Chains A and B, each alone.
Chain A
Amino acid sequence: MARKSLLLAEDDELLASLLNFRLKKGGYDVVHSGDGKQVKEYLAQRMPDIIVSDIMMPYFSGMELIDYVRNELKSKIPIIIISSAGNEENVINAFELGANDFISKPVSPSELLVRVARELNKN
């Protein structure tokens, strides 16, 4: 069975590295980028099976990413948002824009793995 591809958009290198490791170990092909522009370029060329993105990113925020995927690329791939705790407004906006799920920081990698799997199973 082919491994599912996952785009991880997270500017915190340390956390990204940790999640990357955990997701890879969980059986996913992970592409990581900490720059919103790179993410956009990547998405223009290739669409992953699922996107895990932080809301706060340089140049191209998680909100813009959702908007870009949903409205410009017209894709319905699952998007899971990572946000700081207490940023309720952003989370609501993200859901309104079309995010599928939300996980707050501090992140539990195991929990993320479960959520990713659930979203993929939905589709």
Chain B
Amino acid sequence: MELSPMVSEFLFYEENADKEEKSNYIDLKIQIRELIKNDFNRKILTEVLLDLRKDVSGDTKQRLFKLYQDLGLDQDAYEKLKSWKWEVIAKGISHLTQMQVEPAYSFIIKFVNNRRHTVRKQAEIAAVTLKPEGINYFLDTTRYKISEWQQLKLLDVLRNRENFEPPRFKYWLTSTNKHVVLFAIRLIKHYNQNDANAALIELVKHRNNQIKTETIQCIQEFYVTDAIPMLKQVFPKCNVDLKVSILGAIGELGDETDIAFLEKVAASEGNFAVKSKAFGAINMISPDTIMPTEGLDNKGIQPVLSDLPIEKPKELETQETKELPQKHVEEQEDVLSQEAIEAIKNRMSAKKMEDISSEDHQKSSLPTENEPSMVLSNEINSPSKAVSEEEIAENNISQLEKLTEPTEAKNSDVIEEQTEIAKDKLEEKEETAVYGETTKEDVSINDEHKEQTCIESEKYSFTTASSISIELTEDYGNKPSSSIDLDFNFLPIVIEESNDKYHQNNSTMNESHQPEKDIRQIEVAYEVIKVEDIPNPIADDEFDLDISDFEFLPIVIDNEEESQVIENSEVDNLSEEIDDLNFLPLVTDGVFEPTTEEQEQELPMEEANEPNLTTLEGYKLSDFEIDFEQTDNTPIEAKEPVFELEEEPLASISIDADSSNADDVISWLMEQNELGQIEVDFEEINTPFIQDESYSNLIPEPIYYDEHETYMMGLLDDLQELGDYREIPLLEELLAGETKTFIKDRISQLITTFSQHITDDKKAKKEESAPLNLPNFSVFADLFKSIDTEAKLILLDEVVAVGDEKEIEFLDTLLEDPDPQIRKKAQTVLKTLVTKVSTKSDTKNFKKKVDDEVLTKELFDNQMARENPSVTYTTEEYQEVISEIEENEYFDDEFFSIDFEVSEVLDKTYPKKILDLPVEAVEITPNGASLMFQIYQFTKAFHR
């Protein structure tokens, strides 16, 4: 918030402002430049500007963009473009795009094909946003998918772009990137660029359905009537959605010449949506051509059809009239509605084409298509059905005949053929119904019915009557509508039992003759089979079958045969099971023992199947087949089992007694594990006598010592274990008195050993006494490596408090520190530390001096008390002596050049006689007590 007034000031600054305002502006500019030197402030300001961008518009927004660049904040975004992190790059692109930094265009467009989709999408938006030609570049170069959302965003950018003149997007219809093509079509549609009709017509053939759909929509919107032939051409190969789109387009763009196509589609298409759309399209071109049929009460209309003249096939007619009661036909005729007949007749005569199409549609909805089959099936399969069903059946047949009548004039041959086929079918049904079997036709009908909706029109295959439909589908869009009468595909009047049930139920429920079952849609592939051709399965004696054809059937045999078969099969099964148990060690008793030849024959087969292995790796014990040789009936214990182990085990290893290569299992295992291949250096020792004697002879005989020798050896053992160099004299003494050679050797050995110990000990002592020349190490040096300046300054204070002379060296190094603060502080600390250390040293020395004086006084007193107990002296006299000694120290250095050890002198207690000896060289204490005494005596005598 601190920055917002500044931003406002900048945004609303005007060039013609007064002097005060200008001055204020300049001040602000200086302030803000200082502020943005800090990275954090720069980020904040950038965020503020980006946030404000969303809330402001117009001139203020433009000023905001300018301010962003004036303050150099765009440089941060440019820097982000160089980052290795994709998210940083994307953010940089986003900032530059949002703040409309046009010069960044050339830097950003290189990211248009970035593999990271986030970066790529940002770059796409940026390219289109920053420059008008950005969309051209993007469409030219992009290799990636353009998502729907991205297309919308790009479109939004283009829409909001001021003074944008869109390029001719038809140039990108040829792009190899299908997404570019799709986007181009949408842009063409959005910008109403209707100069791309030819290209759009070609794109109808595009493999991509989305492009097809978009193109069809575009064609529809631009009213490209030239595209209709192409639409018709591609129609058969399209999926349902596309077919619906195409039909919609044809409905909108087409004229009456296209109705034929639409009718064909309506007639042949199985899909409800396509069919409905086709009818809808027909009505769009020619309104009210197709009338509603669903849910209408057709009671009064249906009988009209029965009055229409029709030439029934005689056979069929007679059959029907015989089977169906006449009274029901009359009943049906009674319900005729003359008005309905008139209406239909008028309509049919008025417009031929419309009549045909509407008739088709009516036919599709009337019961005439499936009811005949129902009749037949009812008649055949259940002749004793209720009368009502027969009535319905009769009615259906009559309707069937009536429906065929209008087209009979054109297709009388076809009708005749169909009726003949129907008759044949009827006969066949009668035949097949006797045996209760289902013929091929039934099955085919059923199958066709199931698959009917899935099969595309061009794939339909028909025989006989339905073969006419092939022409229909093949001639889509080219043939006139005259072949619409081919809707009699329903004529194959075959039905299976299950269908019968369905239709029975349906007919029972639907007593009003509702023609809802559109059996006409079922494309039937069937074959006419005469009854005589069907082989009679009952004629057993005519059986001449190849049994191999019935392998799939289970073999059924009677009980006796069964037991026989089982016996034989048991042996086979047993052998198979044994084969399956190959992994087990096979122990045989000779019955099934294969001969050696058999084994040899079997082995190569196994070898062929099994890998050739030379080691035991990866094998279990169960993998090895062990053959035991059966030899007479001798007990096993009596036999020496000798195994033969083959080098190449494969799946089985036979152990043979005759083997001489391997002596035992261990050696064999070693061999198999290649342990035997390890070369071992050895020396062969020929000791023939050992081979024949027992091992006890190899033990050396004990050496027995006499008493002296035992004592000496024991002593020497003790000395060796416990003694050191101090025992050398003793050992030398023993050596001199010893006669036994081996004892002498032992003593000499000990002396040598101890002599070496002396040297080693001396060396060790020297090493111990030698001072360790370790470098001075300051603990502060380490700490200084990982702390900031402030902490260093604090630590330097601590150096003064707890440091000693070791820190001096460290402080010396700090005097060259680059930080002036540290240098200065180190200098101060060093001075303080040096003073402290020196003071400490002085104090120490002073204390030592005091101690020395006290000690001297004590020694002096002791000496005086011992040597001259009667003599007394004053403090002054004592001081006088001491000062004299100190003076003499400078004159006679020799006195103090004597090596001595303080501890030894002080600790020693000398017998009195030693002290009484005339002193030539007196052993003195470091403070010179003895000397002092002599001087004292001398000075005393001198004074006297």
Contacts and interface: CB of A to CB of B under 8 A. Distances in A.
Given A18-B11, A21-B9, A106 B56 contact: yes
B54 interface: yes
Contacts of B48: 14
A33 B9 CA distance: 20
Interface in B54-81: 54-61
A22 B59 contact: no
A121 interface: no
Interface stretch (A40-48, A64-72, A107-115): A107-115
B4 interface: yes
Contacts of A96: none
Contacts of A120: none
A25 to B, nearest CB: 6
B60 A13 contact: no
Contact of A22 (B1, B8, B57, B61): B8
Nearest to B11: A18
Given A18-B11, A21-B8, A108 B58 contact: yes
Contact of B5 (A21, A107, A109): A21
B60 A109 contact: yes
A28 B4 CA distance: 19
Interface residues of B, number: 20
Contact of A17 (B8, B53, B54): B8
A14 B51 contact: yes
B711 interface: no
B12 interface: yes
Nearest to B8: A21
A106 to B, nearest CB: 4
Nearest to A104: B57
Contacts of A108: 56-61
B61 to A, nearest CB: 7
A107 B56 contact: yes
Number of chain A interface residues as a range: 10 to 19
B58 A18 contact: no
A22 B4 CA distance: 12
B7 interface: yes
Most chain B beta-carbon contacts within 10 A, residue among A13, A14, A15, A107: A14
Interface in A56-98: none
B56 A17 contact: no
A25 B55 CA distance: 19
B52 interface: yes
B60 A17 contact: no
A106 B54 contact: yes
Contacts of A25: 12
B58 A15 contact: no
A111 B924 CA distance: 113
A91 B705 CA distance: 128
A51 B24 CA distance: 30
Contacts of A18: 4, 7-8, 11, 52, 55-56, 60
A102 to B, nearest CB: 15
B13 to A, nearest CB: 10
Contacts of A15: 52, 55-56
B359 to A, nearest CB: 53
Contacts of A111: 57-58
B54 to A, nearest CB: 6
B52 A14 contact: yes
A110 B58 contact: yes
A110 B60 CA distance: 8
A21 B57 CA distance: 16
Interface string A1-39: 000000000001111011011100100000000000000
Nearest to A15: B55
Nearest to A13: B1
A17 B57 contact: no
A13 B54 CA distance: 13
Given A14-B52, A18-B52, A25-B12, A110 B4 contact: no
Contacts of B7: 18
A105 interface: yes
Interface in B22-49: 48
Contacts of A21: 5, 8-9, 12
A111 B48 CA distance: 22
B49 to A, nearest CB: 10
B162 to A, nearest CB: 14
Most chain A beta-carbon contacts within 10 A, residue among B7, B11, B53, B56: B56
A86 to B, nearest CB: 13
A20 B12 CA distance: 12
A21 B28 CA distance: 15
Interface in B286-309: none
A53 B61 CA distance: 21
Contacts of B52: 14-15, 18
Contact of B4 (A17, A105, A106): A17
A33 to B, nearest CB: 15
Interface string B1-21: 100110111011000000000
Contacts of A20: 8
B60 A105 contact: no
Contacts of B1: 13-14, 17
A49 to B, nearest CB: 22
Contacts of B61: 106, 108
Nearest to B61: A106
B4 A13 contact: yes
A107 B5 CA distance: 17
B166 to A, nearest CB: 24
B34 to A, nearest CB: 21
A21 B12 CA distance: 8
A107 B4 contact: no
A26 B807 CA distance: 70
Nearest to A108: B58
Contact of A110 (B51, B53, B59): B59
A15 B60 CA distance: 12
A30 B624 CA distance: 102
A97 B125 CA distance: 41
B157 to A, nearest CB: 16
Contacts of A107: 55-57
B9 A109 contact: no
A26 to B, nearest CB: 9
A12 B56 CA distance: 12
Contacts of B56: 15, 18, 106-109
Contacts of B11: 18
B12 A109 contact: yes
A22 B58 CA distance: 14
A12 B4 CA distance: 12
A111 B61 CA distance: 12
A13 B2 CA distance: 11
A64 to B, nearest CB: 23
Nearest to B57: A106
Contacts of B57: 106-108, 111
A25 B12 CA distance: 9
B5 to A, nearest CB: 7
A13 B12 CA distance: 17
Nearest to B49: A14
A105 B51 CA distance: 13
Nearest to A22: B12
A110 B61 CA distance: 11
A20 B9 CA distance: 11
A30 B202 CA distance: 65
Contacts of B4: 13-14, 17-18
Nearest to B9: A21
A109 B7 CA distance: 14
Interface in B796-836: none
Nearest to A25: B12
Contacts of A109: 12, 56, 58, 60
6 contacts: A13-B4, A15-B55, A105-B54, A107-B56, A108-B59, A110-B59
Given A14-B55, A17-B5, A18-B52, 9 more contacts: A12-B55, A14-B4, A14-B48, A15-B52, A18-B60, A20-B8, A21-B9, A107-B57, A111-B57
**The 8 nearest A-B residue pairs measured at CB:** A108-B58, A21-B8, A106-B57, A17-B4, A15-B55, A108-B57, A18-B8, A106-B55
